[in-house]
Structure 1
Amino acid sequence: MSVTLVTGGAGYIGAHVVRALLANGDRVVVVDDLSTGFADRVDVPLVPLDLAGAGASEALASVLEEERVDSVVHLAALKDVGESVADPERYYRVNVLGVVHVLEAMRRAGVRELVFSSSAAVYGNVDSESVDEDAPCRPINPYGRSKLVGEWAIEDATRAWGLRALRLRYFNVAGAGGRHLQDRVAANLIPIVLDRVRRGEPAQVFGADHPTADGTCVRDYVHVEDLADAHVAAVQALRSDSTGDDALNIGTGRGASVREVIDVVGAVTGTTAEARVVDRRVGDPAAMVANPGRAHRLIGWRARRDLREIVRSAGE
């Protein structure tokens, strides 16, 4: 039986990835500092560890060796764009040092397969609405830059000591695979809109003068269960030696504007969902939609769930 270690496995995305790996027949070990994760999401071995802290690489290497880990999925990171603008030092410390310590531990323990949780934020403002992996990476906020630095470190490790890695660039993740696994912090658009609609409050729209069809930002929303399946496919691809160093967009290839999301939330909940336009946020690109073709070609993955299903599962 293959053993996969998941950092950040007690988090919203991580718990879905753990469940998908277990369904695939893996034995799973989770490492999480529980700063944003919840231990009750995890029913596999859980090692509390701050991956950005002193001695983290040595401690993680011991876990890798003791558990006889074959592959690592590195999810543990901070991910709030606005927070990263206000506190960039924290984002570089957690997101970049975390990657460095994971790489050091893997090299020390002789573990050579890594799936890395990256982000479409590495692209920044793109020239076209649909973006593929060959687009220039010009992140416009500290969060995106911290993810890109992590990618660079991983690429260098593949050349230096034979690491085999896939960097998954997530687009906008939402939805849930059941009430127990829902995102418990309303920090992304869909749960925020759902929360406001339930309270009878208008949903905030950050700018209605973007260069898009209706003036609001356009994003590619991918169901968290589809995202979890992408991690399983990536791990399997590394094990089969079919690929070993690439970046893959994880999205649907279909964009939805903020106003469209609000309309879908209203339709799913049977409620009139109102919007209130406020100022743009610093660091928000106008449109970001994945071209996910490379993920289909290299690891055989494509998203199966649509926006309505995402909203319905997030609101259950």
Structure 2
Amino acid sequence: MTWLRTPILRRATFAGDDHLREIVVTGASGFLGRALMAELSHGGLPAMGVCRRALNGMHRVADYRDTPSADVLIHLAEEPDRAVANRVDAASCDQSDVIRRLSARAGKIIYASSGVVYGDNGRAPFATDHPVHGYDLYSRLKIANERVVLDAGGTVLRLANLYGAGMSPNNVISDIARQIPGDGALRIRDDRPVRDFLAVTDAARAFALATKATVRGILNIGTGKGHSIGQVAKLALEVAGQPRREIVATSPSGKPSVNVLEVSETLRRLGWSSTRSLRDYFLQVLSR
């Protein structure tokens, strides 16, 4: 493979490494990782994908500390399912040492964090200077790793709720998509939470732009718009031509829960905004 040289990327030098890769992506076999590898390739920025499984075209490592050095290293290799991460022992989830090692081996590190660090009491979209809260293992892990990346002069991208082809079946968008078209009531756990839903392809484009930009610090990657779970379910039924089907919340909390990301700074600094919509996704589901 020929590694393209783009002048906007700063060439890093590391003693004893004669084969530096311009872009390396950890967790490249995951949901976002696959989308990002495709986006980078499409944009003429071939990257080395790193994962812990033996897959064609991927560089396999037993430990992400052994990831090859890079001009730009994008770290996606963490458990994306918040519920799963919160069930794992804290000691085995502490990734800070991994991040430190990766930061030392990269000219620039870009870290995939999450908008959940803001909490869910947003009366307005969360800007990057809003206080963050470590209220569970997952959010504490993200906050700790963000600090390491920022101390290394890297870039933190706080992601909204991702959806798209190949996503985990254990999320609300997957659950709704499985029920269209269908018969009887469309069932969701809670219809009240309001979230910022972002297409994984849009998220991948943001990471690709970040590899070429001189942006450092924290950026939000979302749509800037919130939809309640009930609104998403209603949209899915409209797209499916079944607007009269009942929507049933099986375990309503009765509490407000809002997490939407403010993205005007991202547009200004990165030149990025979302282009895909949930309607597009549900149309795609129905066309399969």
TM-score of the superposed pair, with normalisation by structure 2: 0.83
- Structure 2 Cα separation of the partners of residues 134 and 278 of structure 1: 36
Aligned to 2:11: none
> Does 1:308 find its partner at 2:284?
no
- Superposed displacement of residue 201, structure 1: 6.5
Q: Deviation string for 1:109-146 (max 9, x for gaps)?
A: 4x221111100011113342411111110143221221
Find out whether 1:89 has 2:89 as its counterpart: yes
Q: Deviations over 1:199-257 (max 9, x none)?
A: 6474443345xxxxxxx1111111111111100111111xxx3x22x111111111111
Which residue does 1:194 correspond to in 2? 177
For structure 1, which segment, 2-11 or 270-279, has the greater mean C-alpha deviation from structure 2 after superposition? Answer: 270-279
Aligned residue for 2:75?
Answer: 74
What code does the residue aligned with 1:49 have? V
> 2-side partners of 1:202 and 1:79: how far apart?
30
Q: Aligned letter for 2:40?
A: L
Q: CA deviation at 1:84?
A: 3.3
Q: Is the 8 A contact 2:188 2:249 kept in 1?
A: yes
Q: Helix, strand or coil for the counterpart of 2:48?
A: strand
> 1:135 pairs with 130, 134, 138, which one?
130
Q: Classify 1:268/1:81 alpha carbon distance in 2 versus 1 (closer, same or farther; 3 Å).
A: same
Asked if 2 retains the 8 angstrom alpha-carbon contact of 1:221 and 1:252, the reply is yes
SS in 2 for 1:303: coil
Q: Deviations over 1:30-49 (max 9, x none)?
A: 11124xxx94xxx6x31222
Task: Return the match for 2:146 from 151, 161, 166.
Answer: 151
Q: Does 1:100 align with 2:100?
A: no
Alpha-carbon contact 1:121-1:139 (below 8 Å) kept: no
Aligned counterparts of 1:207 and 1:276: Cα–Cα separation in 2: 9
| Greater mean alpha carbon deviation, residues 14-23 or residues 301-310 | 301-310
Change in Cα spacing, 1:102 to 1:257, as seen in structure 2 (3 Å) is same
CA offset digits 1:66-106 (Å, max 9, x no partner): xxx32111111112222334x1425x634x32x53243144
Call closer, same or farther: CA 1:8–1:199 in 2, change over 3 Å. Answer: farther
Distance in 1 (CA, whole Å) between partners of 2:277 and 2:265 is 20
Identity %: 23
Residue 93 of structure 1 aligns to which amino acid in structure 2?
A: S
Q: How far apart in 2 are the matches of 1:20 and 1:116?
A: 17
Q: Distance in 2 between matches of 1:129 and 1:141?
A: 22
Q: Please give the alpha-carbon distance, in whole angstroms, between the structure 1 residues aligned to 2:198 and 2:30.
A: 17
Relative to 1, partners in 2 of residues 1:76 and 1:313: Cα closer, same or farther, differing over 3 Å? farther
2:163 is aligned with 1:174: yes
Answer yes or no: is the 8 Å Cα contact 1:115–1:165 preserved in 2: yes
Structure with more of its chain in helix, by fraction: 1
Structure 2, gaps ≥5 residues long: 6-21
User: Whole-Å Cα distance in 2 between the matches of residues 202 and 269 of structure 1?
Assistant: 14
What one-letter code is carried by the residue in structure 1 that aligns with 2:249?
V
The residue correspondences of 1:212-227 to structure 2 (distance < 5 A) are 216-227=192-203
1-side partners of 2:263 and 2:130: how far apart?
Answer: 13
Shift of 1:50: 4.2
Across the aligned residues of Structure 1 and Structure 2, the Cα RMSD in angstroms comes to 2.4
Distance 1:145 1:285 in 2: 22
